[in-house]
Structure 1
């Protein structure tokens, strides 16, 4: 009786109270599940689809992609304001005789190669997303695949209640994403074409020097070549002043994207795929893609390959400016003694005293020696992330 007196209610009332509490919990849970099911049906992300973390999605879509392309646009606006001065300086240098006409073909090839890279990467990413939707959504609930793709890919837009989904809006967003992808690729094209132009000038100067090595020429010839070389170095410094900002942004962006994609690949390989972006456990239709469930892995592999291709293209083409600018010193050291003169000596000293290369805001010069430190930085970064992830 004492135990019963300690209870606020009698035994029957206590049991009834607990039963009502359990029933209320079950009812609340059932109602919540029905509300979530209704919301999923309205939003188009049906079935077992799990949304990405909204904070990371905003960072990825707004900062990494949209903000980067917007920043590129702002930089190119400043470049456009300086471009008339650049054209006047090119005309003043009078180096047209040294321009190789093949530079047009080379620039076209590199432009086509880089332009194709961006849409391919975007297409593979959307293929992985679409396959994940098909894998994890019951067949009877797939009514509008394009809507479900847009709700999955751009959920940071359509999650807002005042921005409902519509098909025309989805098309506009897809076109806008394609434009941003091309904008993202344009700095690499621009830098590569300018580097090819500068390299063609130095290559022609080097050919002129090689042709004159075994010939008895007056000092005025070597003076004219040295003056042309000086004008070419002025062009390099002028372009470096104009392009250093976009060069820094482009290479830094590639470095970040490479580190991110390498980390995602290591997460799949080291962790056995348990922490990949699209977890497939519990998906009723897996695999439903054309690549037997390996669409996301294929996207990561192609993405890292294309990113490395773009990074190496910019670095190797940009480093040729430095290599071509230092090449005359090797040839001039081979001039026979009987043809040696003061102008040749001045030419050699000028080449050794100048550091001719494009740079990224003067933080680094684009040379061949830049590639290995960057590779070491990527490896160190990945090892540190994996170590912290294990802990």
Structure 2
């Protein structure tokens, strides 16, 4: 049996009855369209029968050709499935997240509830167009957020990412053929003023003032790992012979409770250690079980950020003479990146160290730190041209 065909309803009792009703309504002044004589019928990929009527045969034939092409190419979408509300698809998408940690999922849920659902919740997914999304992005950039202040560039981008993920889910579930969330100009955080790049001297001065946590501060400043990753380092993952630390897990603060989960972006990795610094870790792992934490709170157990800031960090920053830099433990990631780049690390190495999802992300944040190699290129071109001219002149001399 053909997958798509046309059915003439002229002899069908229900069609004749519909025509009689239409004729009577027309005499009474109704302007509604006559019932469709030509019915296009087809089987969807799930085997279910579908149908759509047309008033004229050429319209029905055009629909047959279009449906046949879509079914052959695998681009068919059930017209009815596109009527699903965005809120329904959003809940499906959020419920399907499996790799993300609880904190990330909670953040996505918050953005759905604050910005995505209030705007798009009642829209049919097929009704959302590129221009609508573009206008919404402008609103996010310019209008005050739900908490009063304007959203920063990173928050706008993340909110857009959530809607984009919902629409991508709609494509994957065959509700729409293409997502309207593509090629939108998103705000960039070009303001690097909040980045702090310590020198080796400044980093060492800070570490010396951190007392029992000086090795912890050096770990943050030389490896660039995140706070949650650093406090989750276990003795069995410190490879002193290879001068590596395996970053496999991270702690997240969920409603005041520390939960151990996967690292951000699921970027499990190894980070390098300077040889002299690696030796400082030896007494911290000696005698500990493989699953024992390397860095702990004074009373034992994982370190807590607020306690560390109040009890140790702020004092060390002031004592090191760095209290005018608005320095936080997280900002030591910037120091690690800058020191690595100045030592000659390429973008892929820095990406791996920091656990960025892509090298493009690393360049977006730290591209301005990489040395300008344009002069090197120009010099290499000069050398190649000079050699070519020398060979050319030598060949002319031989003639």
Provide TM-score, normalisation by structure 2: 0.22
Which is richer in helix? 1
Give the structure, 1 or 2, with the largest relative contact order (CA under 8 Å, sep 6 or more). 1
Question: What TM-score, normalized by structure 1, do the two folds share?
Answer: 0.23
